[in-house]
């Protein structure tokens, strides 16, 4: 992207003078709009010079993603605490900040580009037999590339965490931390103040702006027996709704924009970007953390932490860093000649929400073309308005339990995407994820002259668990991700029941039949021998068309010290170590029943508060 430096901008514009004054004026306008949207001046400056001059900090936060940006903000609220935040990526871009095109961030420099290890029985329709696991590599992390859904998950999730030996993590105890970060601009009723906060850093948008397709979907979903509700971010989650989104004034409200941009000039917060932390360091002969080793521009730098190192690198990078530092399964570390500091189950307990997409089509004469896209881009760049400024019409979600219609917690979540005819030319959904040529060609054919509705059946409570392990002791080499999807057959059964009890019923709804929406299939050669909608066909289809909902969790499990399956305690301190915590999705004992970004922000708010309470209440040197 263009830097928002006046001299550079002038040089760029002058190089096009021969194109004529109208073109130059247009270019100037677009450069100014781009700078206003995602210019370097919006974000904290890179602190390399400061780190080199004085590599001593009170707190080092590793990872500036959904959790790390929040933790760094809250810790630096204490004026005499010097805080360093380290991010492997750089600043957000125009592409990350534009809500509607979030899928196009897959495979960019802002995505780590992870893929799962090939396995039997899942991800079989991918070119490499590996599911794509997009992870944010930029300020804001995954909150800068995700779908912007603000979903807090289920009350039961947090009560179960507490019941497993984690005091302070019940729903009633974490609710204030959800509310603390929130600036809610949504529907107001008599109970709003009980569940939503105003004045927090994070804008949560839920306005009465239903798209026609969102209305259609909610009406059809209501016919299937799922009730339509205004707000699922209360103590009762079940039902269908138009989801709240983390958007403000037509721009993605990532944790970078919400928690870092407003404090970019805070003197006691330094941010080191495009830098990879390669190792956690310890005082000689002890398990007391002293700092970190970070590589920036090919140079290794030792940075000292006077108080704590907080690892907020996410459920893949956090276990990788811990393992490289000698914290993890003894036998695994020995394979790479890594000195074992503590034998802990780091990287185990990996959980993710998989989903399987099912398709509906509606003949459409209106097609997406270059002129339409160009006009939308112009409107957005100049005014931050129009279709690119929101995620509509993709905001409808619903929560459902296939085993008990009266249950208070779901086991399935449905998402619904709407693709206008020929949208694949501009958002190559299946290509971006790495599906094979057969799937891409057949999906494009379905979308050529038809509106496609893609309904996800998302598995919320997987019994199958995977693991993260090192591929080598090179920190620049991606770790191995064993997703282990469908290794427990109950997970497959839940997806099949989700199809039968909702997707199939949706196809029979009066709304769909009246309009002419019909279910269609990507007719996979591998599944043609089975009758459509039979259990055998649905199993074959699900094992081929497996997707990640991008919610990896659990790889540094929280729990009581007596539980050998845990890595951190209820205050997020790594067992057997001093001055080391993990604050991100890794600590989830069990993955929550819903999108994970809002819960991770809550974990960060609570984690930062735990640190403050620990140092103010038990330490004399502040």
Task: Just list the catalytic residues.
Answer: 551
The Cα 581–Cα 615 span in angstroms is: 13
The Cα 4–Cα 319 span in angstroms is: 37
How do beta strands 580-582 and 299-311 pair?
A: parallel
Q: Which long-range contacts (CB under 8 A, 24 or more apart) does 278-287 make?
A: 278/321, 278/324, 278/475, 279/321, 279/324, 279/325, 279/475, 280/309, 280/311, 280/321, 280/322, 280/325, 280/327, 280/580, 282/341, 287/341, 287/342, 287/576, 287/577, 287/578
Distances (CA, A) of 8 to 12, 27, 117, 243, 381: 6, 13, 44, 41, 20
The Cα 448–Cα 235 span in angstroms is: 43
- Nearest to 311, CA basis, from 78, 112, 568: 568
The Cα 187–Cα 425 span in angstroms is: 36
Q: How far is CA 578 from the centre of its chain?
A: 29
Are the CB atoms for 280 and 338 separated by under 8 Å?
no
Coil, strand, or helix at residue 106? coil
The Cα 553–Cα 202 span in angstroms is: 22
Coil, strand, or helix at residue 364? coil
How do beta strands 396-400 and 412-419 pair?
A: antiparallel
How do beta strands 450-459 and 467-469 pair?
A: unpaired
Compute how many other C-beta atoms are within 10 angstroms of the C-beta atom of residue 144. Answer: 31
- As to burial, measured by CB atoms within 10 angstroms (0-12 exposed, 13-18 middle, 19+ buried), residue 92 is buried
- Nearest to 86, CA basis, from 108, 57, 107: 57
The Cα 411–Cα 353 span in angstroms is: 10
The Cα 540–Cα 571 span in angstroms is: 43
Largest CA distance in the chain: 73
The Cα 566–Cα 621 span in angstroms is: 30
The Cα 82–Cα 422 span in angstroms is: 52
Coil, strand, or helix at residue 432? helix
- DSSP-based helix, strand, coil % in the chain, nearest 5: 35, 20, 40
- Beta-bridged to residue 419, according to DSSP, are 452
- Beta-bridged to residue 62, according to DSSP, are 86, 311
| 27 φ/ψ angles, rounded to the nearest 5 degrees | -65, -45
Q: State both tokens at 529.
A: 């021998």
């Amino acid at each position: 992207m263009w830097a928002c430096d006046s001299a550079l901008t002038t040089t760029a514009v002058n190089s096009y003078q021969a194109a004529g004054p109208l073109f130059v004026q247009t270019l100037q306008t677009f450069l100014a709009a781009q700078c206003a949207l995602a210019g370097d001046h919006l974000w904290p400056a890179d602190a390399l010079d400061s780190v080199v001059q004085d590599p001593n900090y009170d707190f080092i936060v590793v990872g500036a993603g959904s959790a790390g940006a929040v933790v760094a903000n809250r810790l630096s609220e204490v004026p005499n605490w010097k805080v360093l935040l380290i991010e492997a990526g750089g600043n957000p871009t125009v592409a990350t900040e534009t809500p509607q095109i979030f899928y196009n961030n897959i495979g960019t420099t802002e995505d780590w580009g992870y893929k799962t290890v090939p396995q039997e029985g899942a991800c079989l329709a991918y070119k490499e037999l590996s599911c794509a696991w997009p992870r944010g590599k930029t300020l804001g992390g995954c909150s800068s590339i995700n779908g912007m859904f603000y979903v807090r998950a289920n009350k039961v999730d947090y009560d179960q965490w507490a019941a497993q030996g984690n005091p302070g993590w019940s729903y009633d105890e974490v609710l204030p931390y959800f509310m603390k970060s929130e600036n809610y601009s949504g529907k107001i009723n008599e109970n709003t103040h009980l569940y939503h906060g105003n004045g927090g850093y994070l804008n949560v948008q839920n306005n009465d702006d239903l798209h026609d397709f969102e209305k259609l979907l909610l009406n059809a979903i209501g016919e299937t027996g799922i009730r339509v509700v205004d707000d699922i971010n209360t103590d009762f989650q079940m039902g269908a709704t138009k989801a709240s989104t983390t958007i403000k004034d037509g721009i993605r409200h990532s944790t970078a924009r919400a928690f870092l941009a407003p404090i970019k000039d805070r003197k006691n917060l330094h941010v080191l970007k495009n830098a990879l932390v390669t190792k956690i360091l310890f005082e000689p002969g002890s398990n007391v953390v002293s700092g970190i080793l970070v590589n920036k521009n090919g140079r290794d730098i030792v940075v000292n932490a006077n108080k704590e190192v907080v690892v907020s690198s996410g459920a893949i990078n956090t276990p990788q860093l811990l393992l490289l530092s000698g914290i993890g399964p003894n036998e695994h570390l020995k394979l790479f000649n890594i000195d074992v500091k503590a034998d802990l189950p780091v990287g185990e307990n990996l959980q993710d929400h998989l989903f399987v997409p099912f398709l509906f089509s509606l003949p459409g004469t209106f097609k997406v073309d270059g002129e339409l896209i160009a006009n939308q881009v112009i409107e957005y760049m100049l005014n931050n308005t129009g279709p690119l400024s929101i995620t509509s019409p993709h905001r409808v979600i619903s929560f459902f339990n296939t085993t008990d219609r009266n249950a208070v917690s779901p086991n399935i979540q449905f998402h619904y995407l709407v693709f206008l005819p020929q949208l694949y030319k501009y958002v190559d959904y299946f290509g971006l994820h790495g599906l094979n040529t057969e799937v891409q060609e057949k999906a494009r054919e379905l979308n050529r002259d038809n509106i496609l509705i893609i309904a996800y059946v998302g598995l919320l409570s997987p019994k199958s668990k995977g693991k993260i392990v090192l591929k080598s002791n090179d920190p620049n080499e991606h770790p191995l991700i064993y997703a282990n999807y469908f290794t427990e057959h109950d997970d497959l059964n839940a997806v099949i029941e989700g199809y039968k009890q909702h997707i199939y019923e949706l196809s029979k709804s009066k709304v769909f039949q009246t309009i002419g929406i019909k279910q269609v299939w990507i007719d996979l050669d591998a599944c043609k021998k089975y009758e459509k909608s039979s259990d055998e066909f649905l199993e074959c289809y699900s094992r081929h068309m497996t997707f990640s909902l991008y919610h990896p969790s659990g790889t540094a499990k929280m729990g009581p010290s007596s539980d050998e399956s845990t890595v951190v305690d209820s205050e997020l301190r790594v067992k057997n170590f001093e001055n080391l915590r993990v604050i991100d999705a890794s600590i989830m004992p069990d993955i929550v029943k819903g999108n994970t970004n809002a819960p991770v922000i809550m974990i960060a708010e609570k984690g930062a508060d735990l640190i403050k309470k620990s140092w103010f209440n038990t330490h004399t040197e502040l």
